[in-house]
Amino acid sequence: MPTTLRHPGTVLTDHVFPVPLDHARPEGEQIEVFAREVVAAGRESEELPWLLFLQGGPGGGSPRPVGQDSWLRVALRHYRVLLLDQRGTGRSTPANRQSLALRGTAAQQAEYLTYFRADSIVRDAELIRRRLLGENVRWTTLGQSFGGFCTLTYLSLAPEGVREAFVTGGLPGLRTSAEDVYRAAYPRVAAKNAAHYARYPQDIETVRQIAAHLAAHQVRLPDGSPLTVERFQCLGMLLGEGSGSHRLHYLLESAWLGGAAGPELSDSFLEGVRAQISLAARPLFAVLHEPIYAQRSLGSQGTRWAAQRVRAEFPGFDAERATAAGEPVLLTGEMIYPWMFGLDPALSPLREVADLLAERGDWPDLYDTERLAGNEVPVYAAVYDGDMYVDRDHSLATARAVPRIRTWVTDEWEHDALRVSDGEVLERLLAMARGER
């Protein structure tokens, strides 16, 4: 039975849905998918339209709201919202080093994880829609980042379930390989580095000193794992967020203190680094990050650690070279590298699994370009001009290829605008849907 509780201004109802691991075998193994229904207090009995929220990721659980916070303040004026914990995340059946160990060999674990991409997430959503709303009632979707990727998969597989769709920072390239994604991403990340160093020029020397220290010393984070130069560079992930540059600066300014043997990296800095780069809370982000771009029609060789291979084309990210030349050390962005599975304790048991997934070449296509060419579902998409994570040009190419996608291109916000704009971004998209913008 669903459980219900009240927060200030909201009523929350928890649902757990059994779904097939493999939707092609509905009578086979079942897993659970958790979803939380949110409605404005006092409107519980109203016949409100439903809004399905598709979280970014991969591997991120849905928000845990307290009252009408963030974009929910706007959404709850119009909808009954369903916050979906995509399979493997949140309170859904977990997929991490602990649970995957029960599946058997690395090959068996890898096979299991092939059912955790957008196509399976969409089929879960359709099953849930029919159970909650009925066969003939459609819902609206709101896809943030990877949730936008899921939206285009939804329109490819089951557009009859969607009344209209909102996408924030998540229109994917339909025919874009993992190599294409990273070849476009490294220059954007370099530009974010340049903007950060222009804002905080003192950080140029701080980052260079930290990189030199890590190259010369063995440094461990508070969880006992090594902090290498490349791992330190992963702090650049912050630069794609609205306040990320400032947060990075404040973290860097706490880096050094005087120790018994001279300057050393402070415990507070090392803990801040650990909190930022550890993937213990979302291991699927690492394991499935490149497979979310894999489609057999784009190639049969697998992604083969595309971010690592493409990085060699951009020597500016070589910290040793930059340090020796007295140049700024560039931090990296939303890239997953194979060496992470040897350093992050949450990922180390999954190293062979990740290698097997990287070599897999028979991934089903996620987007049906022919079906999308005849799309009839209205889509309203925020495209962020300087988005570090999702390429603007790839997004706009998709908007041109799929009828009824209307875009709002803006340089006012970064990738996390849906969360940090206090509902302003969603309000703008709703106004577009109402014909007011």
145 catalytic? Reply is: yes
For residue 292, what are its two tokens?
């979310």
pLDDT for 2 beyond 80:
no
For residue 299, the model assigns a pLDDT of 85
**CB crowding 299-333: b at 16 or more within 10 Å, else e:** eeebbbbbbbebbeebebbbbeebbeeeebbbbbb
* Confidence category of residue 3, pLDDT binned at 50, 70, 90: confident
Catalytic residue among 62, 70, 92, 145: 145
Catalytic residue among 124, 394, 415, 416: 415
Query: What average pLDDT does the chain have?
Result: 96
Mean pLDDT of 196-210: 98
DSSP string covering 160-193, please?
Answer: GGEEEEEEES----TT--HHHHHHHHHHHHHHHH
- List the domain boundaries for the chain: 3-174+367-433, 178-359
**Both ends of the chain: CA-CA distance in Å?**
42
SS3 content of the chain, % helix, strand, coil (to 5): 45, 15, 40
pLDDT for 1 beyond 90:
no
| SS3 state of residue 259 | strand
Q: Residues 323, 207: contact at Cβ < 8 Å?
A: no
CATH topology of domain 3-174+367-433: Rossmann fold (3.40.50)
Show Cβ contacts of residue 209 under 8 Å, excluding neighbours closer than 6 positions: 256
The DSSP output letter for 299 is: -
Mean pLDDT of 362-375: 97
* Confidence category of residue 300, pLDDT binned at 50, 70, 90: confident
